[in-house]
Amino acid sequence: MNQPPKQKEVRQVVSENQLAVCAILESHIKPVYVEKLCSKVLWNWNWMTNGNLCNKGSRIMLGWNTDLANVMLLSQSDQVIQTQIFLKADKRVVMCSFIYAHNVYTQRRALWNDLARHKVFIGDNPWCLLGDFNEALNLEDKASGPFNIDISMREFKECVDNIQVMDVNKVGLHYTWTQKPRGVNGVLKKIDRIMANLVFNHVFVGTTAVFQPYHNSDHFPVVLKIPMQSRFKPKPFKFSNVLVKNPKFHDIVLDTWSMDIVGVPMYRVVKKLKALKKPFQKLLFDGGNIHNLVSLLPVDLDEAQKALDKDPFNTILREKEASFLQAFNEALLNEERFLKQKAKIEWLKVGDSNSA
């Protein structure tokens, strides 16, 4: 994480997947340097680490975008950070355990006991576990090595059965860790997982774990994608300013505003604005596509001017040329008004953000 290429890789994963929370494992960054380092990676995020509980730097670094989520620390050890995450988009809460298990299986026993105790605390809340468990769960998670269930695998499986979690539906690559990729002694294993309890799978329907290519790392980036709940959002009243110049605009507004609606003043205003939407849409539709008119009218105008050039005293051709010219000028003016309003809307969205 001290190297700019690795920092760029983390930023790229965060931006491409629009992450709300990001956990970086095996960083080994000393706690005193975490704040300075994190400001280089994602300067506007909040961060926490378990560095104070580790013998060699921070094993787990956890960051979150405060615009998208709030993270509350519940407990932590040198192998896990237990959190409660509030997703602001749809106001839902999920319990998340970010894990980086020890390499030695005897040291992982403390993690399995910690997860068992935390399961009692979780109760009926949605809970997911993400990270590097440093052990395969099933025989098919190994591409090489001894194909038998040893004591470390058995203890891991007993923990998974005890806390009643299962793998989240996944897409992408299967093996998540590589060692010595060249030659016959290369190792491929699935030791990184995202698991969740039944409540999580029921509440967050459609959740997917995406295992992405690892590039120059020995572990894969793993992304948990939770679909947001679709909520009805009332659309604001708006219309194109081009309609104001239409001769029928005033009459449509006058007719609609003369409607007799019973209720408090604000209710009557809202109902009349809603009643204006369809007439305005029809008026804009009847006018045709603004950009197409600007492209097509010059063709008709060219033909009329060529015909007038051959017969300059023909009054019918003069009226026809004048009609096409007026329509073309109006189309240009309407397009300019439309684009001007669109540019203002875009500026209101991006503000002073140095965008293109």
Could you tell me the CATH number of the domain that includes residue 96?
A: 3.60.10.10
Q: What's the pLDDT score for residue 184?
A: 59
Q: Given phi > 0 = left and psi -120 to 50 = alpha, else beta, which region is 49?
A: beta
Tell me which H or E stretch contains 87. Answer: strand 80-87
263 and 199 fall within a common domain: no
53 and 148 fall within a common domain: yes
* Residues 6 or more apart whose Cβ sits within 8 Å of residue 268: 261, 262
282 and 219 fall within a common domain: no
In DSSP notation, 15-79 reads HHHT-SEEEEEEEEE-HHHHHHHHHHH-TTSEEEE-GGG-SSSEEEEEEE-TTTEEEEEEEE-SS
Q: What's the pLDDT score for residue 121?
A: 94
206 and 294 fall within a common domain: no
Residue 184 lies in a domain: yes
Residue 333 lies in a domain: yes
Residue 209 lies in a domain: yes
Residue 249 lies in a domain: yes
Tally the domains of the chain. Answer: 2
**Bridge partner residues of 303 (DSSP):** none
Identify the three-state secondary structure at position 351.
coil
156 and 298 fall within a common domain: no
Q: Considering only 126-130, 189-193, 212-216, 253-257, which range has the smallest mean pLDDT?
A: 212-216
pTM value is 0.63
289 and 213 fall within a common domain: no
Q: Express each pLDDT in 55-94 by its tens digit.
A: 888 899 999 999 999 999 999 999 999 999 999 988 899 9
Residue 234 lies in a domain: no
74 and 200 fall within a common domain: yes
* Residues 6 or more apart whose Cβ sits within 8 Å of residue 29: 1, 2, 37, 49, 51, 57, 58, 61
Whether residue 30 has pLDDT greater than 90: no
Q: Domain range spanning residue 255?
A: 241-350
Of the three residues 225, 249, 282, the one that is the final residue of a domain is 225
The CA-based angle 270-343-301, given to 5 degrees, is 105
Residue 116 lies in a domain: yes
| Residues 68, 29: Cα–Cα separation, whole Å | 26
Instruction: Label residue 195 by pLDDT band (50, 70, 90).
Output: very high
141 and 194 fall within a common domain: yes
Whether residue 182 has pLDDT greater than 60: no
Instruction: Label residue 166 by pLDDT band (50, 70, 90).
Output: very high
Residue 235 lies in a domain: no
| Residues 324, 135: Cα–Cα separation, whole Å | 77
Pick from 186, 111, 174, 184: which is nearest to 138 by CA?
A: 174
213 and 255 fall within a common domain: no
- Tell me, what amino acid is at 337? R
161 and 210 fall within a common domain: yes
Of the three residues 185, 201, 225, the one that is the final residue of a domain is 225
In DSSP notation, 186-253 reads -EEE--EEEEE-HHHHHHSTT-EEEE---TTSSB--EEEE-PPPP---PPPP---GGGGGSTTHHHHH
Residue 47 lies in a domain: yes
| Contact present, 62 and 49 (Cβ < 8 Å) | yes
**CA pseudo-torsion sign 135, 137, 141, 143:** positive
265 and 183 fall within a common domain: no
